[in-house]
Amino acid sequence: MPILRSIAWSLLALAFLVLVGSLLIGIIFLFIDIFIFYPNLLHYIILAFTWPLIFWPVFNVLSLFIMFSWWCFLGGFATLIFHYISRLFYRKRKAPYLVSTKLPNFMDKPKIVAIIPAHNEEGSIGTVIKGTLKHVTEVLVINDGSTDKTAIVAKNAGALVISNDYQMGLGVTMKKAFKNALRLDASIVITIDADGQYDPDEIPKLLQPILSNEADLALGSRFMEKGSIERMSFVKKLGNKVFTWATNRFTDLHLTDSATGFRAFRKEILEEIPITSNYSYTQEMIIRAAYEGFRLIDVPVKFLKRPFGKSRLISDPADYGLNVSVIGLRIYRDYHPLSLFGSFGVVFMALGILVGAYYLFLTAAGIGAYHVGLVMLCAILLILGIQILLFALLADMFITRDIRRVKPERD
């Protein structure tokens, strides 16, 4: 049942946050205890930087070389940690909405196809189609297993209707829609919801930056200053904000509404970026388009009160949120394996160094012999961290090779 599944994911997410928070608090208190109860902490800090002298007490070329190597390692490791921490708080500024300078062929007389995914929207889809047909060449409705008269109303309103045998979900529905839009030889594709919450008369606003060759993907933003929202629940607003923040983190953009279903884009995006997810297309299209050098822009639009019923394309928000998160992680893995896996490698190496430093601390205190297991744990964490880093370098090498191989063919 969707409700039980939502509750389950929510409880698991809460448990994870509590666990991580408890771990961080425990580490903070551990360092506080060390500072309070061990006034000779400076002695142990010096020991951590000069421990090679314990094994090579005589100053010679070998001891100096080992000491210098150890300091270089500490300096490099500290710099790497600082780099990853600083990325959490600082992001290089780019142009507010545009990315890259890719310029697909300009179209004098473009064929504009509007895609409308629909599930049980007989009350509003007719009005949406008639309003959309005023601004596009053709309207394509993908009827996602509706049990009412959605397909009949859409056909009578002048749309080309393709129906799923049963409800397959937004991701599968949109993949089918995109394939058929290319078969219709669309030059520009518009996506708009069937529930009437987006105003079809704002389609020219989305088309303008594409027709003037200023952008390749125009997003109808409900959260821009000149946009407006008549009604949206707090949970959906929060979810949209979170997904937009995550999308911006992935791409270094400054978009305001990455979850919008009201957008316009060139056919080149569909040709070069086939959607892989069966759950959603919104964030995946944005992230991959940005990575592939297409230009993105936000356009303020109105978000109206739903005239009939409630949202049906996404039946389980918790499940949808989880799957979108997995999609984003998968895309980031494909385009930035070194950053993703390297972070895990650095974390394991950091834990190994902390365990090793703690063992040295116990050894200096005269009780290190009773904690030999710490040596094994330190070695395991360091080896694991090094292996993950090597895997990250290997993955980055392969993705760089593939990019170099494909780019000349594309450009």
Q: What's the pLDDT score for residue 129?
A: 95
> Does the predicted TM-score (pTM) go above 0.85?
no
Closest CA to 252 of 325, 323, 332: 332
In 82-204, where do the E strands start and end? Answer: 112-118, 138-144, 160-164, 188-191
Distance CA 251, CA 287 (A): 6
Q: What's the pLDDT score for residue 399?
A: 59
Q: Name which residue leads in pLDDT, 168 or 313.
A: 168
pLDDT confidence band for 157 (50 / 70 / 90): very high
Protein fold of 112-335: Spore Coat Polysaccharide Biosynthesis Protein SpsA; Chain A (3.90.550)
pLDDT confidence band for 284 (50 / 70 / 90): confident
- What is the residue extent of each domain of the chain? 2-91+337-410, 112-335
Distance CA 291, CA 385 (A): 28
Q: What's the pLDDT score for residue 290?
A: 86
Question: Chain-wide mean pLDDT for the chain?
Answer: 76
The two structure tokens encoding residue 103: 């310029």
pLDDT digits (tens, 9 = 90+) for 330-376: 666 666 677 777 777 878 888 888 787 777 777 766 665 666 777 78
